[in-house]
Amino acid sequence: MLNIVRHLKLKKMKIDLKEATLEDWKLLLDWRNDIATRKNSHNIDLVKEEDHKAWLCKVIKNSNRKLFIAYQNKKPVGTARADYDELEKNYELSWTVAPNSRGKGIGKHMVKCLADVLKTKIRAEIKKGNTSSIRIAEYAGMNFKGKKGEVLYYSN
C-alpha cells in the first residue's frame, strides 16, 4: 500500500504528491469535466457529481489503486493515479494537469515523481494524438510498445 507525500525538485520545480481524500471531490470533478481532459480520456462524457463521488469513494477504499493530487507552492496543479495490476505486477498510470497549469512542464515532473516513488514497472494508455501525454510518459521512462485502435501503449 502506498502512502506518499513526495517531494521532487527538478529544474527549480518542486512538486508535492499527496493522497486524495473525499474532500477533494469538487476539484477532481472540475478537472475531469474540463473539455481538454475529456477529449484525451477514454471516456469523453461529462461525469455527474453523484457518479464522481461514488467513484472517488471506491478509489480511496481500493488498496490497489492510489490517487494523488500534485501541488506546486501549496497550489493544486494536477492529479495522478496508479492502479496496481497483480497479474502483470505493474502499475498503470494516468494523469491530468489542472487546466490553468498546463504548458508549464508540471505533468512531466508530476508523473516522474510518481514513477520514481513506485520503483517498479509502469505503463500508460494514451489516446493517439495526445502529444503532451506522450512526452510525459517518455519523461517518466516509458517507451512506445504498440497501438490498438486509437490507443497507444507505453511502458518501461
Residue 43, pLDDT score: 86
CATH number 3.40.630.30 is the correct assignment for the domain at 5-155: yes
Residue 3, pLDDT score: 44
- Return d(Cα 4, Cα 150) in angstroms, integer: 33
Residue 1, pLDDT score: 39
Residue 54, pLDDT score: 96
Q: Which residues does residue 92 pair with via DSSP β-bridges, in sequence order?
A: 83, 123
pLDDT digits (tens, 9 = 90+) for 92-135: 999 999 999 999 999 999 999 999 989 999 999 999 999 999 99
Residue 97, pLDDT score: 96
Residue 48, pLDDT score: 96
The residue ranges of the chain whose pLDDT is under 70 are 1-12
For 19-80, the three-class secondary structure string (H helix, E strand, C coil) is ECCHHHHHHHHHHHCCHHHHHCCCCCCCCCHHHHHHHHHHHHHCCCEEEEEEEECCEEEEEE
Residue 74, pLDDT score: 92
Instruction: Please give the radius of gyration of the chain, using alpha carbons only, rounded to the nearest integer.
Output: 15
What grid cell was written down for 18? 499527496
What angle, 0 to 180 degrees and rounded to 10, lies between the N-to-C axes of helices 25-32 and 49-61?
120
For the chain, the structural domain boundaries read: 5-155
User: What is this structure's pTM?
Assistant: 0.86
- Return d(Cα 63, Cα 107) in angstroms, integer: 24
- 127 Rama class: left (phi>0) / alpha (psi -120 to 50) / beta: beta
Residue 11, pLDDT score: 52
